[in-house]
A and B are shown apart, each in its own frame.
Chain A
Amino acid sequence: MRRRYTVASAMVGALALLTMAGCTTDPNVAAPTDDAASTEESVEWFDQELFDKQDAERDVVPEGPDGEPWLQHINAEMVDTSEFAAEGAKKACFANASISNPWRTTGWITMNQQLEVLQEAGVISEMETRDAQDSDDTQIADIDYFIEEGGCDVFIISPNSTAAMTPAVERACETGKPVIVFDRGVQTDCPVTFIHPIGGFAWGIDTAEFLIDELEEGDKVVALRILPGVDVLEQRWAAAEKLFDEAGIEAVDYFTGADPAEIKKIISDELAKGDVQGIWMDAGDGAVAAIEAFEDAGVDYPVMTGEDEMSFLRKWKETGLTGLAPVYSNFQWRTPLLAVQKIFAGEEVPSEWVLPQSPITAEEVDQYLALNENMPDGHYAKFGGEDLPGYPQVWEDRIVP
């Protein structure tokens, strides 16, 4: 048994060494690898062409009806849809990635109210929806089910991930029926229209420029990111990271899963390490916990970018911090159904339907708070459903269909 103890002690020693090695040598070793990793990430997700395109689109005045941003489009190239023109109510099939976050839940509620309008107008007979619950496999199966036995007249797809969903979307296109993709993209241009707000790079540019303006060179920004690997989120960070880098702002990023306990832990650790002047978020979920961590530590509020989620707007107003609420236009959930209406009417639609996307600034925050006074915290200020039936009750009660 003595020998076993020796082995055991050696293992503890090795473990301790390993742990210590992981820490003590860090300043020399980990810093370069950190840089290497971040360059790699930037190379992977950073796309100069797309960055420039979205940068330019931020300043374009969108075309389309005034006061209905969900029907507006930026730099659109219209496609003819007369081949799909048809009479009567059609069946829509919607393959949804998930409703697992408040942004998607809000959009889903809005979409259903829009559906009600179109059903009454006799455009859509019914919409069959399959929720993939954040799983690529499930969504591929959902799309194939719609193709094989759905009896669908039009496919609406909100892809779970970009690369994995491309073949399934192509199969849907091969049926010859119109396909509409929105939110996250796919790597094919076979859909009739791809609907999305300007995009992640624009978000990253808006937020990073704001923080760079408000902060000084050498200041530290903590970036709170929901999860890796989703293009719209990765592009937000890729753009922001590049701009922070160029402006000499020190930025560290963390994945939080939107868990407020995790966010609070991260911020407390960062505040224990040293001062933090700015908070950047790739989505506003959990923003309140980040602000509270500063309150608990008894230090000044940071300059912060969140999202147009009500919880952040309210906390922003309450604390009076310097903030910006970037927007990933939630009203885009209405547009696919309105596109269905246009396509079956044979009206032309943009092949890439870029919706406007503009942040809520300090001057506008009061107006959006007043407009959404009784909405729950998980509601998104730019949800764009004010003219739909059920407003505001349906969103206030947040009944998920």
Chain B
Amino acid sequence: MSAVTSERPSAGARLAALGRTLVSPRGAVFLLLIVLLIAMAVLNPSFAEPSQFIRFVQRVAPVAIVAIGQYFVIVGGEFDLSMGSVVTAQVVIAGNLIGQDEAKSLPVLALMLAFGAFIGLVNGLIVTLLKVPSFIVTLGMMLALLGGTLYWTGGAATGNPADGFREIGRGGIRGIPVIDILPWSVVVLAVVLAAAIWFSKRPFGRTIIALGDNPTTARFSGTRNWWVKTSTFMISSLSATVAGVLLVGYAGVHPSVGRGYEFIAITAVVLGGVVLGGGRGWVVAAAAGAFALEALFTVLNFAGVPSTYRDAVQGAIIILAVAYSATTFRSRRRGRGIEASPDATSPTSPDAATPISPDAANKTSPAPAEERDAPASARPAPIPSTSRADNETKGGS
């Protein structure tokens, strides 16, 4: 991103750089999204109308918010499998506690946020202090929350909360020219995304990436690893809470709301070019991954793919897309493992670590390659440090 905006090359060079960015794994998700949106508009011209499109954005907002939360956990080197069940639990909490009493909206909302933060804190502390792999911790949390929800509801929806509370997910500002209605969900998504971009540019946000890249160096540079990691889990649980608030408005209360969201979010994040295992990624690409995924579902629907094998087609396309970014990343990593150490020592100031273009990857002396390929290094995200050899991470916190 920095290269595209700050270097001001000629229009042609900029276009070429943009093209390269779009085919690179980091930019591929945007290309995929554009292709899917065009396909959607071709299949169903009414979709291209702004009022229809904004409804699409409204619908994707909860998924995108969950993906943004998951991004922080993944880029920090962990997983959060409990997000979907946090959404479910929050939806049920809203339904049961608010009921038809609109006055309870704010207190219950505060309670939901506190509950979300608490779940994240528990996940984070077990991962960091007890050193249990996050995969297991959050899997356990997922089952615990789902079981708790089932116990509480008896497997059935208890009824939707007051309409005033549901307005956040269902309603919007009406009477706006062109788009007709500006759903509150879209506003919330914009705010969350802006906050996420701002946050990931702050030192603390950088530290998360550094931690995901190499916990040992992060620790040596004075990071309180346990707190940084715990906070990523709190961010993800809170984002799941926000998604839950939107979903309870959009869809209503049902124990199946939120089901599978953790996997959709992880897929979206990976589709957005974020590396599983941490250390690389751009939050906007993760959000774009969520949009691409939902656009894919919609295209398959518009294309009239029969319901019996729609899932299979979805799966195949997702595997292809993810495999694409994974193979290119791996080939880059292999070529560059040797030069990891110099840059990895300064992960907290990613902009200082000059992004190295893939062309430099198979050169043995990184310095001249960096200079020569500087204009070609147009990437959507600053890369905080180079890749690491796997054994470097073994001694991590």
Residues in A lying within 8 Å of B, measured CB to CB: 1-2, 4-5, 8-9, 11-12, 15-16, 18-20, 22-24, 26, 30-31, 33-34, 37-38, 41, 99-102, 104-106, 109, 225, 228, 252-255, 257-261, 263-266, 268-269, 272-273, 285-286, 288-289, 292, 296-297, 311, 376-379, 398-400
Contact A30–B170 (Cβ < 8 Å):
no
Known interface pairs A8-B23, A259-B259, A272-B52; A19-B44 also in contact (CB < 8 Å)? no
Instruction: Tell me if A's interface is mostly helix, strand, loop or mixed.
Output: helix
B160 at the interface (CB under 8 A from A): yes
Contact A259–B257 (Cβ < 8 Å):
yes
Q: Which of B46, B297, B308 contacts A228 (CB 8 A)?
A: B308
Contact B156–A19 (Cβ < 8 Å):
no
Contact A260–B59 (Cβ < 8 Å):
no
Known interface pairs A19-B35, A20-B39; A30-B304 also in contact (CB < 8 Å)? yes
Contact A4–B328 (Cβ < 8 Å):
yes
B359 at the interface (CB under 8 A from A): yes
Instruction: Write the chain A residue with the least CB distance to B331.
Output: A4
B187 at the interface (CB under 8 A from A): no
B155 at the interface (CB under 8 A from A): yes
Report A-chain residues with C-beta under 8 Å of the C-beta of B252: 260, 288-289, 292
Report A-chain residues with C-beta under 8 Å of the C-beta of B35: 16, 19-20
Write 15 A-B pairs (CB below 8 A) sorted by A numbering.
A2-B359, A8-B327, A16-B35, A20-B35, A102-B157, A105-B156, A106-B156, A260-B256, A261-B62, A261-B251, A264-B59, A269-B301, A272-B55, A311-B157, A400-B154
Q: How far is the CB of A209 from chain B (nearest CB, A)?
A: 24
Known interface pairs A8-B328, A269-B302, A272-B46; A286-B156 also in contact (CB < 8 Å)? no
Per-residue CB proximity of B223-262 to A under 8 Å, as 1/0? 0000000000000000000000001001110101101000
B10 at the interface (CB under 8 A from A): no
Contact B308–A260 (Cβ < 8 Å):
no
Contact A30–B305 (Cβ < 8 Å):
yes
Instruction: Write the chain A residue with the least CB distance to B171.
Output: A296
The 4 closest A-B CB pairs, nearest first, are: A378-B156, A102-B156, A260-B251, A261-B251
Q: How far is the CB of B88 from chain A (nearest CB, A)?
A: 10
Report A-chain residues with C-beta under 8 Å of the C-beta of B361: 1
Q: How far is the CB of A382 from chain B (nearest CB, A)?
A: 16
Q: How far is the CB of B159 from chain A (nearest CB, A)?
A: 4
B127 at the interface (CB under 8 A from A): no
> A58 CA to B74 CA in the complex, in Å?
57
Known interface pairs A1-B359, A20-B39, A289-B252; A257-B155 also in contact (CB < 8 Å)? no
Report A-chain residues with C-beta under 8 Å of the C-beta of B43: 23, 26
> A22 CA to B304 CA in the complex, in Å?
10
Per-residue CB proximity of B282-324 to A under 8 Å, as 1/0? 0000000000000011111111111111000100010011001
Report B-chain residues with C-beta under 8 Å of the C-beta of A23: 39, 42-43, 299, 302-303
Contact B306–A33 (Cβ < 8 Å):
yes
Report A-chain residues with C-beta under 8 Å of the C-beta of B62: 261
A260-B257, A263-B251 given. 14 additional CB < 8 A pairs? A16-B31, A22-B299, A23-B42, A23-B303, A26-B43, A37-B308, A102-B155, A252-B304, A268-B59, A296-B170, A311-B157, A376-B159, A377-B159, A398-B158
Report A-chain residues with C-beta under 8 Å of the C-beta of B317: 15, 18-19
Contact A273–B254 (Cβ < 8 Å):
no
B47 at the interface (CB under 8 A from A): yes
Q: Which of A5, A31, A100 contacts B358 (CB 8 A)?
A: A5
Per-residue CB proximity of B31-49 to A under 8 Å, as 1/0? 1100110010011101100
> A284 CA to B5 CA in the complex, in Å?
53
> A109 CA to B362 CA in the complex, in Å?
68
Report A-chain residues with C-beta under 8 Å of the C-beta of B304: 26, 30-31, 34, 252
Instruction: Write the chain B residue with the least CB distance to A255.
Output: B307
Instruction: Write the chain B residue with the least CB distance to A8.
Output: B328
Report A-chain residues with C-beta under 8 Å of the C-beta of B337: none
Q: How far is the CB of A161 from chain B (nearest CB, A)?
A: 17
Contact B36–A19 (Cβ < 8 Å):
yes
Report B-chain residues with C-beta under 8 Å of the C-beta of A253: 307
Contact A12–B251 (Cβ < 8 Å):
no
B375 at the interface (CB under 8 A from A): no
Contact A398–B156 (Cβ < 8 Å):
yes
> A195 CA to B297 CA in the complex, in Å?
40
Instruction: Write the chain B residue with the least CB distance to A13.
Output: B23
Report B-chain residues with C-beta under 8 Å of the C-beta of A2: 359
